[in-house]
Amino acid sequence: MDTPVTEFPEYASIAEITTRFGISRGTQYRLIADGKIEAVKVRAAVRIVTATVEKYFTSLPRMTGKSQ
C-alpha cells in the first residue's frame, strides 16, 4: 500500500488490486460478476477499473465503536 491513490493507475491487474486494497482474487471476480466493480479484458489479461474499487469501498457501511 505504498502507492498513494492519486498515483495508482486507472486500470490495475488482479494482483495489484490484491496488494493495494487487500481484496482476494476470488472476491474480485465475484464483485465483477455482481456488477459492484468494473473490469476490462485485454486479450487474456483482466484489468480492474480502480475508481470502481474505491467507489465500492465508500459504499460499505462504516464500523463504529459499538459491538454488533
Asked if residue 65 belongs to a domain, the reply is no
Residue 34: inside a domain: yes
pTM comes to: 0.79
66 found inside a domain: no
pLDDT tens for the 68 residues of the chain, in order: 555 555 778 999 999 999 999 999 999 999 999 999 999 999 999 999 999 999 999 999 998 887 55
- Beta-bridge partner residues of 12: 48
pLDDT recorded at residue 6: 58
Range of the domain at 48: 5-56
**Do 41 and 29 meet the contact criterion of CB atoms below 8 Å apart?**
no
Q: Is 63 domain-assigned?
A: no
19 assigned to some structural domain:
yes
Domain count, the chain: 1
Please state, in angstroms and rounded to a whole number, the distance separating the CA atoms of residues 42 and 45: 5
Say if residues 47 and 12 touch (Cβ distance below 8 Å).
yes
Confidence (pLDDT) at 67: 59
Residue 68 within any structural domain of the chain = no
User: Scanning the structure block, which residue is given the C-alpha cell 465483477?
Assistant: 32
